[in-house]
Amino acid sequence: MNNMLNQLLADLNVLYRKLQNYHWNIKGKEFFVLHPKLEEYYDDVNKQIDEIAELILTIGGEPLGKLDDYLKISKIQEAENVKVCCDTVIKEVAKDFDYIVKQVIEIKKQADNNEQYVVSTLMDELIGDYSKNLWMLKQSMQ
Ligand SMILES: [Fe+2]
């Protein structure tokens, strides 16, 4: 369980950096919508990072705290330091959110099997938030 939660912690840290990189480098017609939306996303991710780390501590584990650790294990691919168009950002963020929600569902399943309801409860929140964000992103891609 701790390994899965540290994996999520690493993924969220890299996702945070990626979302803010996009916030800085996004260009195109939907700039005025997506620039603040990306800030909303990374502010949420920042809160989730703290919640996951403190959840790991709550269940007696040790949260990874180094960027080096996160980059080694994260499955989220960082964004480059280049200007990026709105369509690419939406597609890429939807792909990453989809990966995160699948990871979170796996953690919830395992937590329920082990009767670790404190873990399961937080995962429920994340499943709800990411599923809603994904629905909205998909709507905007049509
Ligand atoms: Fe900003």
Smallest CA-to-CA distance from 76 within 21, 138, 30 is with 21
Cα 39 to middle of ligand 1, angstroms? 7
- Kindly report, residue by residue over 1-58, the tens digit of the pLDDT: 899 999 999 999 999 999 999 999 999 999 999 999 999 999 999 999 999 999 999 9
Distance from residue 109's CA to the centre of ligand 1 (Å): 36
C-beta separation of 98 from 141 below 8 A: no
Cα distances (Å, whole numbers) of residue 49 to 61, 101, 116: 15, 15, 19
Ligand 1 midpoint to CA 70 (Å): 24
Q: Which domains, and CATH codes, for the chain? A: 2-141 (1.20.1260.10)
CA of 92 to the centre of ligand 1 (A): 20
pLDDT in tens, 49-98: 999 999 999 999 999 999 999 999 999 999 999 999 999 999 999 999 99
DSSP characters over 85-118? EHHHHHHHHHHHHHHHHHHHHHHHHHHHHTT-HH
Q: What is the CA(133)–ligand 1 centre distance, in A? A: 20
For the stretch 97-123, pLDDT in tens is 999 999 999 999 999 999 999 999 999
Confidence (pTM)? 0.97
Q: Distance (Å, rounded) from C-alpha 17 to C-alpha 37?
A: 15
Residue 72 Cα to ligand 1 middle (Å)? 27
* Distance from Cα 89 to the centre of ligand 1, integer Å: 16
| Alpha helices for the chain (secondary structure H) | 2-25, 31-58, 67-73, 86-113, 117-141
Q: How far is the CA of 128 from the centre of ligand 1 (A)?
A: 26
- Can you tell me whether residue 75 is helix, strand or coil? coil
